[in-house]
A = this chain, B = another copy of it.
Amino acid sequence: MKLSILGCYSATPRTLNNTTSQVLEINNHMFLIDCGEGTQVQLRKHKIKFNRIKHIFISHLHGDHFFGLVGLISTFRLLTRETDLHIYGPKGIKEIVVLQMKLADSWTNYNLYFHELTSNESELIYEDEKVEVHTIPLNHRIYTNGYLFKEKEGLRKLKMNAVEEANINVAYYRKLTQGFDVTNEDGILIDHKTVTKPGPKPKSYAFCSDTMYKEDIVPIIKDTDVLYHESTFLEQHAHLAVKTKHSTAKEAAQIAKQANIGTLILGHYSTRYGTINPFKDEAKSIFNTVELAEDGRTFEF
């Protein structure tokens, strides 16, 4: 998986700070998560082949997470896109986009599918042969979901010595890697586990923004490799975090610790702070593996 941070600041875009948007690449799939104003310019700036995006996931309808969406949809039209585009987000997102297309008399020449979310329970909203996406219900001022991206189990690896010794016809090798037991040349059923070993461990990524501290998400994101969790404030402004339903860096770390996350990435910083390093320091007092999102930074895992 490769995660590219296009913007990771809260509230409003500024000359050097972009609002939330990120691209997650999994096995040639390109998923866009949130789409603050100026996202399309960030995509160009970072030379991301954004016409490859087929699925956009919007966490909630505050402007710093989706004001760039209608512009991106419009730009895809001008670039004569033909590929379907799927948009996942809170109920109402379709009305906003369609109203603007109607008043501009500018309809897309590609198919646009809206998947509007209303549930307060985690649900599977996307699945293909390699990836699943689940919602992570969050607690913010308006209806908000995070998103959990999970690779599926890949093919098992053959233990070559064992498989040859077991006298299995090569025509059955693929079935073994898919986890099926097969009959060998002597008519004996061979347990696939005896001649194969697990493939590479599937990776997972959880995006949680915006939200106040919410322990309910721990079971959903348990053992995830990488968690992006908002940390709008430092503990010194914990009262503002409560008031605005955001988290502190310490709270993000507490969630990461309880969920046994591999790496915690912090983001959605308030621009009131001159530097973002204190966010890392604060989180590291609770949880060891902490990284700081920065506009333009990429993470591979």
Q: Is A243 located at the chain interface by the 8 A CB criterion?
A: no
Known: A44-B14, A45-B15. A104 touches B142 (CB 8 A): yes
Residues of chain A in range 104-149 having any CB-CB distance to chain B below 8 Å: 104-106, 141-142
Chain B residues, Cβ within 8 Å of A141: 105
- List residues 53-97 of chain A with CB under 8 A from any CB of chain B: 61-63, 67-68, 70-71, 74-75, 78, 90, 92, 95-96
Asked if A188 CB lies within 8 Å of chain B CBs, one says: no
On chain B, the residues within 8 Å of A11 by CB distance are: 75, 78
A12 within 8 A of B: yes
Give which listed residue, B38, B41, B74, B96, contacts A63 with CB less than 8 A: B74
Binary flags per residue of A1-39, CB closer than 8 Å to B gives 1, else 0: 000000000011111000000000000000000000110
A298 interface residue (CB < 8 Å to B):
no
Is A100 part of the binding interface, using a Cβ–Cβ cutoff of 8 Å? yes
- One digit per residue, 1 when the CB lies within 8 angstroms of any chain B CB and 0 when it does not, for chain A 252-287 equals 000000000000000000000000000000000000
In the complex, the answer to whether B12 meets A75 with C-beta atoms within 8 Å is yes
Residues on the B chain within 8 Å of A41, using CB? 13-15, 38
Interface presence of A103 (CB below 8 A) = yes
> Does A40 reach chain B (CB closer than 8 Å)?
yes
* Of B12, B96, B105, the contact of A100 (CB 8 Å cutoff): B96
Of A75, A96, A104, A141, which is in contact with the most chain B CB atoms at under 10 Å from its CB?
A104
Copies in the complex: 2
Q: By the criterion CB–CB under 8 Å, are B15 and A103 in contact?
A: no
Inter-subunit contact A61/B15 (CB<8 Å): no
Which residues on the B side are within 8 Å of A104 (C-beta)?
Answer: 61-63, 142
Contact between chains at B13 and A62 (CB < 8 Å):
no
Q: How far is the CB of A19 from chain B (nearest CB, A)?
A: 9
Does any Cβ of B come within 8 Å of A99's Cβ?
A: yes
Distance in angstroms between the alpha carbons of A125 and B14 in the assembled complex? 32
Neighbouring B residues of A40 by C-beta, 8 Å? 12-13, 37
23 contacts between A and B (CB under 8 A): A12-B40, A12-B74, A13-B40, A13-B71, A14-B41, A15-B44, A15-B45, A37-B37, A37-B71, A38-B38, A61-B100, A62-B104, A63-B70, A63-B71, A63-B100, A63-B106, A67-B70, A95-B103, A96-B96, A96-B100, A99-B99, A103-B142, A104-B142
